[in-house]
């Protein structure tokens, strides 16, 4: 990951779509490399029809957006009128007056966040974290498991069933600002406490007893569920570092 830079930047985010010719995005005869046909000196990342183009200034971002619009029109395509936007990725007070200061890409939301720098100081940096949409999907999946209703299943078996999902979320989203995951992962423990109250009669009318019981399990077997080491290891989250840039996303 590049070190903190002091260059001013601009970012364009866009989402492209085709009315009847989405396949053209994958047809090299109709849509040759954007990097070769539009601007070979400007880096970008693309996944399917979602893309981020990195620009150094707002002027450059406006220019690349116009070039993309013209090139897409040649192929019978158009940029999404809402998701195509120039995002200011400067840090701190520099971007306060900008219209767009965040964007989503591959399940992450990139926006200014409070963070701790390696030298021990604190400040605001433009960083990624799991997006609200991705976290909502996680919580919906946890509800779908219906852990509180699995009273015929042992706790170890519950862990074996759900740990592959939990590890996948942690492996993908914990690289940057992992604390954004905490509230959603704690919902799993909420359902486990409800499971304990339904499975063990002594906890039926004692929610505090179920909490203390689960806390003892976490202390004695902290690796049973994949999210427990992340939540209860008490390791400080120092955030992440990224360069200041302006991007185009489609």
- Asked whether the predicted pLDDT for residue 17 surpasses 80, the reply is no
Contact 92, 121 (CB under 8 A): no
Q: Please tell me the distance from the alpha carbon of residue 19 to that of residue 16, in angstroms, as a whole number.
A: 10
Measured CA to CA in angstroms, residue 245 lies from 2, 82, 86, 110, 122 at distances of: 11, 21, 11, 11, 20
> How far from 48 is each of 72, 77, 157, CA to CA, in Å?
15, 14, 37
Token pair 């999404």: residue: 80
How sure is the predictor about 39, in pLDDT bands with cuts at 50, 70 and 90? Answer: low
Question: Which one is predicted more confidently, 234 or 217?
Answer: 217
Q: Strand locations in the chain, DSSP E?
A: 10-17, 44-47, 50-55, 78-79, 85-88, 103-105, 108-116, 122-130, 246-249
Predicted TM-score of the model (pTM): 0.73
Per-chain mean pLDDT for the chain: 79
- pLDDT tens, residue by residue, 63-119: 988 888 888 888 888 888 888 888 888 776 665 667 788 889 999 999 888 888 888
- With bands split at pLDDT 50, 70 and 90, how would you rate the model's confidence at 4? very low
Q: What is the pLDDT of residue 93?
A: 62
């Amino acid at each position: 990951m590049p070190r903190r830079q002091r260059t001013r930047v601009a970012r364009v985010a866009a989402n492209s779509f085709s009315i009847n010719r989405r396949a053209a995005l994958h047809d090299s005869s109709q849509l040759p490399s954007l990097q070769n046909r539009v601007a070979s000196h400007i880096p970008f990342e693309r996944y399917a029809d979602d893309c981020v183009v990195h620009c150094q200034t707002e002027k450059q971002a406006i220019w690349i957006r116009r070039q993309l619009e013209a090139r897409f029109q040649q192929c019978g395509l158009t940029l999404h009128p809402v998701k195509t936007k120039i995002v200011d990725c400067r840090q701190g007070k520099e971007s306060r007056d900008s219209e767009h200061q965040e964007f989503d890409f591959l399940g992450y939301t990139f926006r200014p966040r409070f963070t701790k720098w390696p030298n021990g100081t604190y400040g605001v940096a433009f960083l990624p974290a799991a997006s609200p949409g991705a976290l909502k999907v996680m919580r919906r999946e946890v509800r779908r498991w219906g852990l509180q209703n699995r009273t015929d299943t042992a706790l170890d078996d519950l862990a074996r069933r759900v740990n592959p999902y939990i590890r996948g979320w942690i492996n993908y989203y914990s690289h940057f600002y992992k604390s954004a995951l905490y509230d959603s992962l704690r919902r799993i423990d909420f359902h486990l406490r409800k499971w304990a109250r339904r499975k063990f009669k002594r906890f039926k009318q004692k929610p505090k007893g179920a909490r203390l019981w689960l806390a003892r399990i976490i202390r004695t077997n902290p690796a049973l569920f994949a999210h427990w080491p992340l939540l209860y290891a008490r390791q400080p989250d120092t955030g992440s570092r990224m360069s200041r840039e302006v991007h185009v996303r489609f």
